[in-house]
């Protein structure tokens, strides 16, 4: 490390960026540059069209050598964009990269004060003066490296989570795939066909499910939930709750000394079980027993006891016989695994559309949701693929599809966003009834058809050509004929400007989607932010869509926002790639903004320990007295402890009290001394 220039007079270089006209359009860049030259400690001030360009960076590098600078200030955009760029340039000039300070004169100035050039220029001068004051006091800092555990975790076993787990595992990383349900597969396994290719959802999904089950690098943990998370990137300790399943896998049986035992998925137990419950996989439209599997293609093929319903009659235990797979006294088990990175893929639920009273879901028998339609039209569904009216089992001929049911809705009952895949699956539904029911007519009530993906517009063309009726108007309300249970759909054909009352046999609501029930709990455990509507927040909407603001935690699929299958899989592969990078590098560098304890001043009161939101502080014995100690890798540099410490014994690196006071002084005492 270069010697620390402690007693040297600070010599600061200031560089003002034009950013084309982004900054220069409203700020007098030359005036700011000339002003900077008058500030104390400033050795050189310059300006350039694009400071981030190679010539711009070279200016910094060269000036450091030429003027023997001790600190660099760039007045340009937000540090979120180019702080790393200019730190590198500072390092290239031979300075410690943390001797760089950025003055944001774009996002927080020229863009918002576009029409006030004089005030904007004055504000830019303030920003530069403040930055110079801090830069004069900056110190060399050394980033800390921590090793990364060579294992990853994926939370959620839908198509996104499965894809992410497969990619990680195939890249040679031990991966824990955690799924709360007894089987992986997620929402996609409930779908019949997929747009726009119309291939069978299960047919393309089950090979992946098998791959996941067979992959040596994947430890599949179904019927398991995340209970607690500790640690930080590279070293997450995740506590898992393995819910009591009541059924042993062959491996678990062997561990108990039952050789050749364990569940084989034969189903003998199910046959004798006297308890009948609705099957949630079929959305309650088909029965299951208290000992059950969701559907024949589950992975792993292990039965599960629903202990809320089980009467513990023991018939299943008898039926299971020598395999001894069933343990009706099973209890939840806990386990802790250590992983380097985590991918959250917790998916979505359907918005409870009965809250929109005007459409009568759950009041009128023949109003169903699209997901119920998927099960009813699916050959392995409760009706063997025959679409029937719930009221009388008849085949519907006229079916209305209500798009934007609860989406694009600002009333507070509903979701303001577009749920993104409803247009396309409703087109597919229209195709399916035309194909399966001779003479069937689908009426699609839409506001806009959003066929944005590859081959989607062509699919729209195809369905229109097949005879689907498109009515541009949002459905105002639905009324039921109490005798026939037919439905009257009221809407306006907005293109004709006429109100409509169409009598149909069935209505399918393309209900909005919302984050799954577990998303909120999971995101809190991993410290991930969410947007106003509950979707998990990516680090950057365009340039970092898989990352989060928590280092080492990534997002895949609908938990980040509504997505169709192609987009979910694409994001999952992106997240897997991002999550594998720290693991393959083997170590991560942490920004050195840690709290530091000045032990001579520390009274060992320990108040800071409880304040720390990251559990990074502890009291330790040192030379016969108690002092606080920081686990640097856990510290996020939030400053809570530093601001609180009654003795001023905690130093926040890069945000030291003298640095902050100098900034405040520079602002308040101003340039007009």
Cβ(42)–Cβ(12) under 8 Å?
yes
Q: Cβ 357 to another protein, closest distance in Å?
A: 9
Q: Cβ 185 to another protein, closest distance in Å?
A: 33
Q: How many residues bind another protein (CB under 8 A)?
A: 24
Cβ(511)–Cβ(393) under 8 Å?
no
Q: Cβ 446 to another protein, closest distance in Å?
A: 9
Q: How far apart are CA 522 and CA 227, in angstroms?
A: 9
Q: Which is nearer to another protein, 347 or 562 (CB)?
A: 562
Stretch that binds another protein, among 156-164, 258-266, 330-338, 488-496 (CB under 8 A): 488-496
Q: Which is nearer to another protein, 425 or 445 (CB)?
A: 445
Cβ(196)–Cβ(381) under 8 Å?
no
The conformation of residue 4, written as its DSSP 8-state character, comes to P
Q: Cβ 91 to another protein, closest distance in Å?
A: 50
Q: Cβ 416 to another protein, closest distance in Å?
A: 9
Annotate each residue in 466-485 with x if it binds another protein (CB under 8 A) or - if it does not, as one string.
------xxxxxx--------
Q: Is 354 among the residues that bind another protein (CB under 8 A)?
A: no
Q: Is 408 among the residues that bind another protein (CB under 8 A)?
A: yes
Stretch that binds another protein, among 233-241, 487-495, 526-534, 582-590 (CB under 8 A): 487-495
Q: Using alpha carbons only, what angle is made at residue 60 by residues 59 and 63, rounded to the nearest 5 degrees?
A: 80
Alpha carbon dihedral 211, 222, 510, 419, in 10-degree steps, equals -80
Out of 412, 482, 624, 646, the only residue in the binding site for another protein (CB under 8 A) is: 412
Q: How far apart are CA 549 and CA 41, in angstroms?
A: 36
- What spatial distance separates the first Cα and last Cα of the chain, rounded to whole Å? 38
Q: Which is nearer to another protein, 68 or 494 (CB)?
A: 494
Burial of 2 (0-12, 13-18, 19+ CB in 10 A): exposed
Q: Cβ 455 to another protein, closest distance in Å?
A: 27
Region at 266 (left for phi over 0; alpha for psi -120 to 50; beta for the rest): alpha
DSSP output for 126-176: HHHHHHHHHHTT------EEEE--SEEEEE--SHHHHHHHHHHHHTT-EEE
Phi, psi of 164 (to 5 degrees): -60, -45
Region at 60 (left for phi over 0; alpha for psi -120 to 50; beta for the rest): alpha
Greatest pairwise CA separation for the chain in angstroms: 93
Q: Which is nearer to another protein, 158 or 473 (CB)?
A: 473
Q: Which is nearer to another protein, 215 or 490 (CB)?
A: 490
Out of 410, 465, 532, 673, the only residue in the binding site for another protein (CB under 8 A) is: 410
Cβ(144)–Cβ(583) under 8 Å?
no
Q: Cβ 450 to another protein, closest distance in Å?
A: 13
Strand partners, 286: none
Residue 115: other Cβ atoms inside 10 A: 8
Which helix (H) or strand (E) covers residue 347, if one does? none
Q: Which is nearer to another protein, 476 or 603 (CB)?
A: 476
CA distances from 494 to 445, 448, 475, 553, 589 (A): 11, 12, 11, 46, 58
Q: Cβ 22 to another protein, closest distance in Å?
A: 30
Q: Which is nearer to another protein, 291 or 475 (CB)?
A: 475
Q: Cβ 371 to another protein, closest distance in Å?
A: 21
Query: CA 438 from chain center: how many Å?
Result: 43
Evaluate the CA torsion angle 599, 601, 604, 609 in order and state its sign: negative
Q: Using alpha carbons only, what angle is made at residue 297 by residues 291 and 303, rounded to the nearest 5 degrees?
A: 20
Query: CA 126 from chain center: how many Å?
Result: 38
Q: Which is nearer to another protein, 414 or 442 (CB)?
A: 414
Interface positions, 387-406, toward another protein (CB under 8 A): 404
Q: Which is nearer to another protein, 471 or 666 (CB)?
A: 471
Strand ranges in 207-305 using DSSP code E only, listed in sequence order: 218-221, 224-232, 235-242, 276-278, 287-289, 291-292, 304-305
Annotate each residue in 311-350 with x if it binds another protein (CB under 8 A) or - if it does not, as one string.
----------------------------------------
Q: Cβ 444 to another protein, closest distance in Å?
A: 14
Q: Which is nearer to another protein, 409 or 573 (CB)?
A: 409
Annotate each residue in 417-456 with x if it binds another protein (CB under 8 A) or - if it does not, as one string.
------------------------------x---------
Q: Which is nearer to another protein, 21 or 411 (CB)?
A: 411
Annotate each residue in 489-528 with x if it binds another protein (CB under 8 A) or - if it does not, as one string.
-xxxxx--x-xxx---------------------------
Q: Cβ 428 to another protein, closest distance in Å?
A: 23
Out of 7, 54, 411, 532, the only residue in the binding site for another protein (CB under 8 A) is: 411
Q: Cβ 474 to another protein, closest distance in Å?
A: 4
Out of 119, 358, 481, 589, the only residue in the binding site for another protein (CB under 8 A) is: 358
- Residue 219, token pair as written in the block: 């430890």
Q: In what order do the strands lie in the sheet with 224-232?
A: 224-232, 235-242, 333-339
Q: Cβ 406 to another protein, closest distance in Å?
A: 9
Q: Cβ 442 to another protein, closest distance in Å?
A: 19
Q: Which is nearer to another protein, 191 or 489 (CB)?
A: 489
Q: Cβ 377 to another protein, closest distance in Å?
A: 27
Q: Is 532 among the residues that bind another protein (CB under 8 A)?
A: no
Q: Which is nearer to another protein, 209 or 402 (CB)?
A: 402
Q: Is 623 among the residues that bind another protein (CB under 8 A)?
A: no
Q: Which is nearer to another protein, 272 or 500 (CB)?
A: 500
Cβ(341)–Cβ(461) under 8 Å?
no
Strand ranges in 222-332 using DSSP code E only, listed in sequence order: 224-232, 235-242, 276-278, 287-289, 291-292, 304-305
Residue closest to 132 by CA, chosen among 672, 665, 653: 665
Q: Is 414 among the residues that bind another protein (CB under 8 A)?
A: yes
Q: Which is nearer to another protein, 204 or 500 (CB)?
A: 500
Cβ(445)–Cβ(474) under 8 Å?
yes
Q: Which is nearer to another protein, 165 or 353 (CB)?
A: 353
Q: Cβ 352 to another protein, closest distance in Å?
A: 17
Q: Is 409 among the residues that bind another protein (CB under 8 A)?
A: yes
Residue the block writes with tokens 């920004």 = 591
Q: Which is nearer to another protein, 408 or 651 (CB)?
A: 408
Q: Cβ 405 to another protein, closest distance in Å?
A: 10
Q: How far apart are CA 572 and CA 577, in angstroms?
A: 8
Q: How far apart are CA 173 and CA 585, in angstroms?
A: 12
List of residues contacting another protein (CB under 8 A):
358, 404, 408-412, 414, 447, 472-477, 490-494, 497, 499-501
């Amino acid at each position: 490390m270069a010697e620390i220039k402690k007693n040297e007079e600070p010599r600061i270089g200031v560089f003002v960026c034009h950013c084309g006209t982004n900054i220069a359009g409203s700020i007098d860049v030359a005036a700011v540059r000339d002003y900077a030259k008058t500030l104390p400690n400033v050795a050189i001030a310059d300006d350039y069209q694009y400071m981030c360009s190679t010539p711009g960076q070279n200016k910094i590098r060269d000036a450091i050598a030429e003027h023997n600078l001790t600190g660099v200030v760039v007045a340009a955009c937000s540090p979120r964009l180019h702080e790393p760029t200019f730190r590198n340039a500072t390092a290239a000039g031979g300075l410690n990269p943390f001797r760089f300070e950025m003055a944001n004169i774009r996002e927080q100035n020229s863009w918002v004060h576009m029409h006030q050039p004089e005030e904007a220029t004055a504000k830019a001068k303030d920003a530069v003066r403040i930055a110079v004051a801090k830069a004069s006091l900056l110190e060399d800092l050394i980033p800390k490296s921590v090793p990364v555990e060579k294992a990853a975790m994926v939370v959620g076993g839908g198509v996104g989570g499965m894809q992410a787990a497969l990619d990680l595992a195939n890249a040679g990383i031990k991966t824990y795939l955690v799924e709360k349900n007894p089987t992986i597969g997620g929402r996609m396994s409930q779908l019949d066909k997929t747009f726009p290719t119309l291939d069978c959802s299960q047919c393309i999904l089950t090979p992946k499910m098998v791959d996941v089950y067979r992959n040596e690098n994947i430890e599949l943990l179904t019927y398991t939930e995340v209970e607690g998370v500790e640690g930080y990137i590279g070293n997450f300790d995740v506590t898992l709750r393995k819910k009591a399943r009541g059924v042993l896998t062959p491996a678990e049986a062997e561990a108990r000394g039952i050789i050749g035992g364990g569940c084989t998925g034969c189903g003998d137990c199910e046959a004798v079980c006297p308890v009948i419950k609705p099957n949630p996989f079929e959305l309650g439209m088909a029965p299951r027993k208290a000992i059950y599997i969701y559907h024949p293609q589950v992975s792993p093929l292990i039965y599960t006891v629903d202990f809320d319903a089980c009467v513990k009659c023991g018939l299943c235990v008898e039926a299971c016989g020598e395999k001894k797979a069933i343990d009706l006294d099973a209890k939840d088990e806990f386990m802790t695994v250590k992983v380097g990175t985590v991918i959250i893929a917790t998916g979505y639920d359907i918005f409870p559309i009965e809250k929109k009273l005007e459409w009568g879901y759950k009041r009128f028998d023949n109003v169903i949701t699209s997901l119920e339609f998927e099960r009813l039209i699916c050959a392995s569904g409760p009706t063997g693929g025959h679409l029937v009216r719930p009221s009388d089992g008849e085949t519907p001929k006229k079916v209305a599809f209500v798009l934007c049911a609860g989406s694009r809705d600002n009333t507070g009952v509903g979701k303001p966003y577009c749920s993104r895949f409803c247009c396309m699956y409703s087109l597919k539904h229209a195709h399916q009834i035309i194909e399966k029911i001779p003479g069937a007519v689908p009426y699609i009530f839409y506001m806009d058809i959003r066929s944005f993906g590859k081959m989607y517009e062509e699919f729209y063309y195809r369905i229109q050509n097949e005879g689907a009726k498109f009515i541009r108007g949002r459905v105002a309300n639905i009324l039921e004929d109490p005798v026939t249970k037919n439905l009257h759909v009221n809407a306006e054909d907005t293109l004709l400007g006429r109100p409509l009352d169409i009598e149909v046999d069935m209505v399918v609501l393309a209900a909005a989607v919302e984050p799954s029930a577990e998303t909120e709990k999971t995101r809190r455990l991993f410290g991930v932010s969410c947007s106003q509507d509950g979707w998990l927040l990516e680090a950057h909407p365009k340039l970092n869509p898989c990352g989060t603001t928590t280092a080492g935690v990534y997002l895949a699929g609908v938990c980040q926002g509504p997505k169709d299958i192609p987009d979910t899989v694409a994001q999952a592969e992106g997240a897997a790639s991002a999550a594998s990078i720290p693991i393959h590098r083997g170590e991560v560098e942490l920004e050195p903004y840690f709290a530091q304890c000045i032990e001579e001043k520390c009274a060992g009161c320990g108040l800071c320990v409880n304040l720390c939101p990251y559990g990074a502080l502890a009291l330790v014995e040192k030379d016969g007295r108690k002092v606080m100690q920081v686990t640097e890798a856990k510290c996020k540099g939030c400053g809570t402890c530093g601001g609180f410490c009654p003795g001023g014994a905690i130093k926040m690196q890069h945000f030291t009290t003298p640095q902050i006071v100098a900034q405040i002084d520079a602002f308040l005492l101003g340039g007009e001394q």
